[in-house]
């Protein structure tokens, strides 16, 4: 089955608000075997919404989702556009009004006409009370398609999709099982990996598909199976995966996850090792990534964001002369930061980052995009230099954070 996703809102088209709803909805649908065939963003104009609905109903989609435009203000025109498109009328839905009144007036506020209008819905639509907001969700059957209208607030959309829409779809439609498995391959150029896997890939059963998803020095091999017998699907998938170690060898580092933090966590816990960070350029991003893994307190002892020169000198005890001679963005300072982090937190492993994220050069006139990553690994120290002059500030921070974890990741692989 297929879905057509329409996001409604001038604020999305302006580029000032990200459309995260479509991404979430598509993932949720994909998990139950429904493929998104189109993402569309349109303005809050009645005619524009109707034109996009016409395209969606002319498509091969079984489900049409809209997000946005259900609220109380004058730019919320989705419901009227839907009613016009379906040659329907808006009517007052009393249960919605009662719920909206309860929510809106509980703190002593008085109901106003704009808020009340949120209970007006197309007469032929099934109404699902929005327990996370005031605008109700609409479910309409038309021309063998299902039109589902969700609010634009991401929190409300996520909750209503998870708790109401997905379960309702699963109850009312006979969906195929869909199972995915992601494997991690390292140090293998994508084209060479594809050639290596050519015979294996050509002999995959028709119901198994393979995707190559490169990410830095890693490649995710994503296997997807669809069918009606879950046990047979899982058995077939496992049988094909079990052939890969003999083909890829040690460069196949995980058949369970592609999350680098998870792989690092498994290694540290298995070997009873501890870890810390000293961040300058990345401003705590690496700490956030590491602590996103449940149970990270077993190996992660802490981090320090030594952003200023003073912090590097007073907290990490980096000699003033080293900074003056080499500047804060240097191999020598990256080494000292990693070494002093390991000392400060008494850890076996430590990572450091220092660099210039931009948009301006630093006080030492180091160029924007220059960065160093230090790795203290059981009394050995390693440093890598990077230069990404064309990245934005946010992109630079993200890139170096990922590179730092990859540096530790590859050192782990060497020691396995």
Q: Per-residue confidence at 81, pLDDT binned at 50, 70, 90?
A: very high
Same domain, 287 and 378: yes
Q: What is the pLDDT of residues 345-402, one digit of tens each?
A: 999 999 999 999 988 888 888 999 999 999 999 999 999 999 999 999 999 999 999 8
Domain edge (last residue) among 235, 254, 273: 254
Q: In the numeric block, which tokens belong to residue 11?
A: 């604020």
Tell me the chain's radius of gyration from C-alpha atoms: 27
Task: Sort 149 into a burial class: Cβ within 10 Å, 0-12 / 13-18 / 19+.
Answer: buried
Same domain, 191 and 269: no
**Chain-centre distance of CA 414, in angstroms?**
29
In this prediction, residue 163 carries a pLDDT of 96
* Measured CA distances, 246 to 200, 217, 249, 257 (Å): 11, 21, 6, 19
Same domain, 65 and 161: yes
Same domain, 192 and 265: no
- More reliable by pLDDT, 415 or 185: 185
Omega of the bond leading into 359 within 30 degrees of 0 (cis) = yes
Q: Which CATH number do you get for residue 60?
A: 3.40.980.10
Residue 141 lies in domain: 2-172
Q: Per-residue confidence at 292, pLDDT binned at 50, 70, 90?
A: very high
**Stretch 221-243: mean pLDDT:** 92
Q: Total domain count for the chain?
A: 3
274-299 exposure pattern, b = at least 16 Cβ within 10 A, e = fewer: bbbbbbbbbeebbbebbeebeebeeb
In this prediction, residue 73 carries a pLDDT of 80
Q: Per-residue confidence at 230, pLDDT binned at 50, 70, 90?
A: confident
Same domain, 229 and 115: no
Q: Give the span between the Cα atoms of 361 and 343, in whole angstroms.
A: 30
In this prediction, residue 320 carries a pLDDT of 94
Same domain, 163 and 268: no
Tell me, yes or no, if the pTM score tops 0.95: no
pLDDT at 161 over 80: yes
**Chain-centre distance of CA 148, in angstroms?**
24
Domain edge (last residue) among 221, 254, 287: 254
In this prediction, residue 177 carries a pLDDT of 84
**Stretch 211-217: mean pLDDT:** 85
CA atoms within 13 A of residue 202's CA, in its CB half-sphere: 6
Same domain, 97 and 189: no
- The 3-class SS string of the chain reads CEEEEEEECHHHHCCCCCCHHHHHHHHHHHHCCCEEEEEEEECCCHHHHHHHHHHHHHCCCCEEEEECCCCCCCCCCHHHHHHHHCCCCEEECHHHHHHHHHHHHCCCCCCCHHHHHHHEEECCCEEECCCCCCCCEEEEEECCEEEEEECCCHHHHHHHHHHHHHHHHHHHCCCCEEEEEEEEEECCCHHHHHHHCHHHHHCCCCCEEEEEEEECCEEEEEEEEEECCHHHHHHHHHHHHCCHHHHHHHHEEECCCCCHHHHHHHHHHHCCCCEEEEECCCCCHHHHHHHCCCCHHHCEEEEEECCCHHHHHHCCCCCHHHHHHHCCCCHHHHHHHHHHHHHHHCCCEEEEEEECCCCCCCCCCCCCCEEEEEEEECCEEEEEEEECCCCCHHHHHHHHHHHHHHHHHHHHHHHC
Same domain, 167 and 250: no
Q: Give the span between the Cα atoms of 211 and 209, in whole angstroms.
A: 7
**Stretch 46-75: mean pLDDT:** 94
Same domain, 314 and 250: no
- More reliable by pLDDT, 37 or 179: 37
Same domain, 161 and 61: yes
Strands 35-42 and 218-227: unpaired
* pLDDT, averaged across the chain: 93
């Amino acid at each position: 089955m297929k879905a057509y996703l329409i996001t409604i809102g001038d604020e999305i088209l302006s580029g000032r608000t990200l459309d995260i709803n479509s991404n979430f909805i598509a993932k949720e649908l994909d998990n139950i075997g429904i493929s998104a065939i189109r993402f569309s963003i349109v303005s809050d104009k009645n005619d524009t919404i109707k034109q996009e609905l016409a395209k969606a109903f002319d498509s091969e989609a079984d489900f049409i989702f809209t997000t946005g435009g259900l609220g109380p203000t004058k730019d919320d025109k989705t419901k009227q556009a839907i009613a016009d498109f379906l040659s329907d009328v808006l009517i007052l839905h009393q249960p919605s009004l009662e719920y909206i009144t309860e929510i809106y007036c509980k703190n002593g506020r008085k109901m106003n006409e704009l808020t009340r209008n949120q209970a007006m819905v197309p007469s032929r639509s099934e109404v699902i009370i929005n327990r996370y907001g005031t605008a109700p969700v609409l479910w309409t059957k038309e021309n063998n398609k299902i039109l589902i209208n969700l609010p634009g607030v991401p929190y409300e959309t996520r909750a209503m999709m998870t708790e109401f829409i997905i379960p309702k779809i699963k109850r009312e439609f006979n969906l195929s099982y869909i199972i995915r498995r992601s494997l991690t391959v390292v140090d293998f150029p994508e084209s060479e990996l594809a050639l290596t896997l050519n015979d294996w890939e050509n002999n995959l059963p028709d119901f198994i598909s393979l995707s190559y998803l490169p990410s830095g020095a890693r490649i995710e091999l994503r296997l997807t199976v669809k069918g009606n017998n879950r046990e047979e699907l899982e058995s077939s998938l496992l049988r094909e995966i079990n052939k890969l170690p003999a083909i890829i060898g040690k460069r196949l580092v995980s058949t369970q996850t592609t999350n680098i933090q998870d792989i690092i966590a498994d290694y540290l816990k298995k070997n009873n090792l501890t870890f810390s960070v000293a961040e300058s350029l990345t401003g705590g991003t690496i700490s956030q990534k590491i602590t996103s893994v449940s149970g990270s307190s077993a190996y992660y002892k802490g981090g320090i964001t030594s952003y200023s020169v003073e912090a590097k000198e007073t907290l990490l005890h980096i000699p003033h002369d080293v900074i003056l001679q080499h500047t804060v963005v240097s191999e020598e300072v990256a080494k000292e930061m990693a070494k002093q982090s390991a000392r400060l937190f008494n850890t076996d492993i430590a990572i450091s980052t220092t660099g210039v994220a931009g948009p301006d050069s630093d006080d030492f006139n180091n160029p924007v995009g220059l960065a160093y990553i230090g790795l203290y690994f059981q009394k050995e120290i390693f440093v890598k230099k990077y230069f990404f002059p064309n990245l934005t500030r946010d992109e630079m921070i993200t890139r170096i954070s990922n590179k730092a974890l990859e540096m530790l990741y590859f050192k782990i692989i060497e020691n396995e």
